[in-house]
Structure formats: C-alpha cells, structure tokens
Structure 1
C-alpha cells in the first residue's frame, strides 16, 4: 500500500467537503490519508458530529484503521481496507445532513464488488447542504447517464434542528462509469415551485410561492404546497428548472426572524442568474459532479464561474490522481470544467 497522502484541510474553502471528497477517493483508490487542519476555516474548527459520522461510516465500509476520530479533532489518520459492500445503517445522531454523509460513501460503492443498501438517519433538508430533492432530481439523473445504478428513497423528512429524517439508497454496482459530457442544457421544458412547511403556518408557503410567481420569467407552471407534521419545524422553498439535458433545483430555507418574502426573493435571484447565464450546470451540481468525473476518468461540463467549493474539490482530487482538470473561461458567465479522458 502507498504511504499516506497528506492533505491540508485549511486549503481553499477549508470546510467539510475536503474531508468527504478525500474519504471517497481514499476508499476507491485504497490510499491511506493523513488529514490535518480539518475544517480550519469554520467556527468551531475540527470534526462535528456529521463529519465524524462520515469518517466512522467510511471506516466501517472498509474495516479501516483510524486515529483521531472524536468531536473537535483537527487531525486524522485513515487507512482503508478492501471496500465491503453490503447493508448498512448509519445514524448521525443529530440533524446533521444525510445527503452530505452520502456524498462521502456513495462514489466508491458505485464501483464496488457487490450491491449495497444504505439507511441514513439525520437531517434531509438542512441549510448549507443539498436537500434530498436535489439528489433525487438533479444529481441522480446525471449519475445514471454515466452508467450508475442507484435508487434513492426519502423514507421520512428531517428538518434542522430536530432531524429524525431517514434516507435510503440502493446501489447496484457497475464495472465502470462513462465520462459525462454536459455542455448544453437544451430547451426549458418546465419551471416548477414547491414550498414545504413542517410545523409552521401554511401562509408562509403561500407568500413564498407568490414571490416566485411575481419574480420569475417565465413564472412557475406548477406550484405546490406541502404541509408536514412530526418532522420537526422547518421550511424550504424550491424552484426546479427542467431542461432537455439537465434538471437544476434551487432552494431557500426559512430562518427565524427572516420574512418569507426575503427567502423567496433571494431564491428567485439565484434562478434568474442561472436562466440568464444559459449554462446547464449550476454551482452546486458542479461540486457534486467532480468526484464521479474522476472515477470515470474524464468528462466535461459548462457552468457558472467556479466557486471556492469547486476549485477546492479539484485540488483534493488532483492530490490523489496524476490527472489535471482544466478550467476554461469561455465568457463572463460560461466556464468549462474538464478532465481529459484517461
């Protein structure tokens, strides 16, 4: 086995995505890692419960040896064993994001030696994390285009701070992933809006959808209110843009003391920026596609100006592999992110 790869968690955006990307690649490539300065640019720094669960889940999937696995730790040593697909249940124990936990362990299981079934307990609709709807409607279709065979199920929603959500994933592995070419979004087929309120008044959702109807051009062809009980207290409003080659989803989370109109107005601005740019891939999908492209050994997509999350994840991948991504600015709003076919 190769010596541990030393990764500085303070580089770039300096958050938990460095840990998750490194774990996914460590599992797939069977490369030990020594990660320092974990979440150095977050307050508080170090492992939180959500990140610790990612680490422990990766260790269980591979029988890894592990040092530094405790809350607050800013340094870990992780030496994976052979990946062991199977049936697993992982419980974050808080409202920490199940979708981010899946980000760390799904990629290697796509190419494992056998099928897996994952049941993840925690938050499914969290600020600062892709909600379940994003995984199911946006990321999953692109993974399927690459040949992946995955089914995702939302068994129970869970909002911050209560959590209690359950996400399930069924994975039938494939021998290889195909490079993804996503350079055009095609014609817009539908814009749809949804406002979800859990344990909150219905009028919050009504006000959010009213703002989206007024500020989006074209306005949503479909709008839906979903009222939930026994899922904690929370609110999320989403706008889904379905195009011929890609679906994108944008979301806003309700905040205590912030008017519903302000949440929906900020969301409308994100959607307008995406529509005006006429690119297929939004900033969050760009982040999610990078590790799958690395596992496929190539591909490219057109996106908005890369975020620090995107450029940081590229740096992590390039630390593991001898390949280099290309970032090419084609216009003020169009950037091509590419990995030459290997």
Structure 2
C-alpha cells in the first residue's frame, strides 16, 4: 500500500492531526507520512505529549516509525497487524502529557481488537488544552456507548502540570462486529444536572481544599438554580497527589442527550467565582439553544461516526475548528462522507455515512 501524506499544518494544525492520523493508520493498515507537524505553532514539531500517544499506538499495531523524536516536524508511521488477544500496554510519558488525549488515539483502535484490552497510561489527568478525565468518564464514555463502545477508566492517581505522575487504567471491550450509527438529534426533556468537583494536592492542604470544593459546589448550584435548573446533584472529592490542581465537570442529562461542560481549577489563579462562572456559562449556552452534545464532545465523535456501519446524525451548537479538522482527517483516510447543515434554531446538524469497519 502506498504511503499517504498528511499535512500536519492544516486547519487546527496541532496534535489532533497526529492522534487521529495514527489511529486511522493503525486501523486501516495504511502507512503514513505526516509532514509540517505543528508548523504554525511558536514551538513546532513533536513534543513529549505527542510522542507518548504515538508510542502507545505503535505498540498496538507493531508499527515501525521514523522521526518520532522531540521537535521533529516529520513522522513516518508504518503499521503492521493490529495486536490481538487480551493485552496490557503501559505508556509512561514522564511529563504531564494528557492521558485523555492518549485515550483519544487508543480507544478507537482498541475497540476493533478481538479481545479485551487493558492500557495503563501515566501523565496528566487534568491539564490545560485537554479534556479532564472526569469529563471523559462522565460525558464522552456514555455517548460512546451509543455506538456500542464499552469501556471504563480507573483513575488510580491524579496528575497535573508540570510533573504529571498521574495514572489511569483504561479497560476496553471489543465492539460486536461493527460500530452502531447514532442519532443524537433530539434534545429531550428538562435536564437533571450532575456535577463532579475535585481538588487534589499535598495532604496538609486537605482542610483548605475541602472548604474550596464545598464553596464551589454551593456556588454552582446557586447559579444553575437562578437559571431555572433545580435537579442538581454534585459529587465532591479531595485527593492526595504530588502536584496540586482540580476540575469541575457538569453533565446535563435530558434522557436523550448528554451535554457536558468542564473547567480546570488552577490553585494559583482560580477563584470560586471564576471557575463557577466558566463551567456554568458554557453549559447554559448549550442548554439555551438545546444543543444535543457540547462542542468539545462533537470533535471526539467524528472518528466513531466515520467508522460506524450506517448514517449518523448529531446536533451541536458550535462546529469548532477541532471538529472541522477531525472531519478533514476522517475524509482523508476513509470514504466516509460528512455534511454540516445549519438549522434555523441556531444549531448545526452533522451527518455522516460511515464506512462500516468490521472488527478484526
């Protein structure tokens, strides 16, 4: 099979192109050359967080690579057959590389293996420019289940910038033959909202952190109450870790849709009011227009829509550059055809006729 050349500078022009490209390469056994990697960034080329994800997928399909080194602007990735059997993989980024972004590459590959998978990843669980692990577990995983994806993640240790040192064990069951197409285009009823608030740090800070998370939980409830939402439950957690950090995740469940919102708690900069406003305002914006998924979830669904066996439709408020990039990469690798229709109610409907990739 001839090598497919991918321009790493198009559209979003960042790590998403790498993550999706190596996942498609592995699944379709398509050799690739990615050039101009992060060319538009102030610090172009591969960074430790990108290399961790590449190393993970490399293990999953016995790939041979060239250029997988720090600051390289070109990567050759030559996959072999997808690793079969009940396998355990361990990738240690040795930095605060985002574990949720490693999952973005690894999960679509693991579900097409013919046995259960267990993947241990070390790095950052809650870092900037990435979903948080609580968002992945409570927003993305339940939506993925509609495609027939069954997985879970055990957060054994939280990790933050700059040291990382977090650990997550991802367990994945293979799909039954094909991914299901999805119809996520009916907003549903007035939502019940669930919140997840956590802060982690050195043990001596536990009393202070307990007070902060209780204050955040109260402020979030009050703000949502003022907007007419009263079915609210919030789980709180204070943990011990080498570094310090936290996050707030909200999930609105309408019965037919899950709409998420998240914000990181920076121990140096964040206040109770700032994180409350950030996480609530994003959620309320989507609920106001009755979006069926949030914009951050939308770009994560594209690879599953492309691989599913049939037509999927998803309504979303905003089509981000990440979503456009994910569609572009999916169409570079597959015959999946996407369309985006602007609706009169301010929403967008993303439609895709998937290729029906069968499990190996």
- With the shorter chain as reference, the TM-score category is over 0.9
Kept in 2, the 8 Å contact 1:138–1:246? The answer is no
TM-score w.r.t. length of structure 2: 0.89
Partner Cα distance (2:105, 2:236) in 1: 32
Kept in 2, the 8 Å contact 1:213–1:220? The answer is no
CA offsets 1:106-135 (integer angstroms, 9 cap, x no match): 102211233221111111112221111222
TM-score w.r.t. length of structure 1: 0.94
Give how far 1:12 is off: 0.5
> Bigger CA drift: 220-229 or 167-176?
220-229
Kept in 1, the 8 Å contact 2:125–2:133? The answer is yes
Give how far 1:189 is off: 4.2
Q: Give the structure 2 partner of residue 212 of structure 1.
A: 220
Give how far 1:305 is off: 2.1
SS in 2 for 1:322: coil
Partner Cα distance (1:51, 1:99) in 2: 12
Kept in 1, the 8 Å contact 2:121–2:167? The answer is yes
Kept in 2, the 8 Å contact 1:65–1:78? The answer is yes
Q: Give the structure 1 partner of residue 18 of structure 2.
A: 19
Kindly report which structure 2 residues correspond to 1:189-204, keeping only aligned pairs within 5 A, or say none.
Answer: 189-199=191-201, 201-202=208-209, 203-204=211-212
Q: Give the structure 1 partner of residue 290 of structure 2.
A: 278
Q: Give the structure 2 partner of residue 236 of structure 1.
A: 247
Partner Cα distance (1:17, 1:133) in 2: 20
Q: Does 2:110 match 1:109? A: yes
Kept in 1, the 8 Å contact 2:139–2:251? The answer is no
CA offsets 1:70-114 (integer angstroms, 9 cap, x no match): 011111111101011321111111111111011112102211233
Q: Give the structure 1 partner of residue 94 of structure 2.
A: 93
Give how far 1:262 is off: 1.6
Give how far 1:44 is off: 1.5
Kept in 2, the 8 Å contact 1:212–1:220? The answer is no
Aligned CA RMSD, in angstroms, stands at: 1.8
CA offsets 1:283-333 (integer angstroms, 9 cap, x no match): 111011100111114311001120000001100111111232000001352
Q: Give the structure 2 partner of residue 264 of structure 1.
A: 276
Kept in 2, the 8 Å contact 1:147–1:178? The answer is yes
Q: Which runs of 5+ in 1 are unaligned?
A: none
Give how far 1:195 is off: 2.4
Q: Give the structure 2 partner of residue 315 of structure 1.
A: 328
Kept in 2, the 8 Å contact 1:302–1:336? The answer is yes
Q: Specify whether residues 68 and 115 from structure 1 end up closer, same or farther in structure 2 by C-alpha distance, changes over 3 A only.
A: same
SS in 1 for 2:236: strand
Q: Give the structure 1 partner of residue 151 of structure 2.
A: 150
Kept in 2, the 8 Å contact 1:211–1:265? The answer is no
Give how far 1:246 is off: 2.8
Kindly report which structure 2 residues correspond to 1:301-312, keeping only aligned pairs within 5 A, or say none.
Answer: 301-312=314-325
Kept in 2, the 8 Å contact 1:67–1:78? The answer is yes
Q: Which runs of 5+ in 2 are unaligned?
A: 356-360
SS in 2 for 1:134: helix
CA offsets 1:182-204 (integer angstroms, 9 cap, x no match): 11131144212332121253343
Give how far 1:231 is off: 4.7
Partner Cα distance (1:258, 1:57) in 2: 33
SS in 1 for 2:138: helix
Partner Cα distance (2:220, 2:91) in 1: 37
SS in 2 for 1:112: coil
SS in 2 for 1:196: strand
Partner Cα distance (2:30, 2:129) in 1: 29
Give how far 1:219 is off: 4.8
Kept in 1, the 8 Å contact 2:158–2:241? The answer is no
Report how many residues are paired.
Answer: 341
Q: Specify whether residues 254 and 141 from structure 1 end up closer, same or farther in structure 2 by C-alpha distance, changes over 3 A only.
A: closer
Q: Give the structure 1 partner of residue 2 of structure 2.
A: 3
Q: Write out the 4+ residue segments of structure 1 that deviate beyond 4 Å after TM superposition.
A: none
Q: Give the structure 2 partner of residue 81 of structure 1.
A: 80
Partner Cα distance (1:151, 1:230) in 2: 22
CA offsets 1:110-166 (integer angstroms, 9 cap, x no match): 112332211111111122211112222222222222222323222222222332221
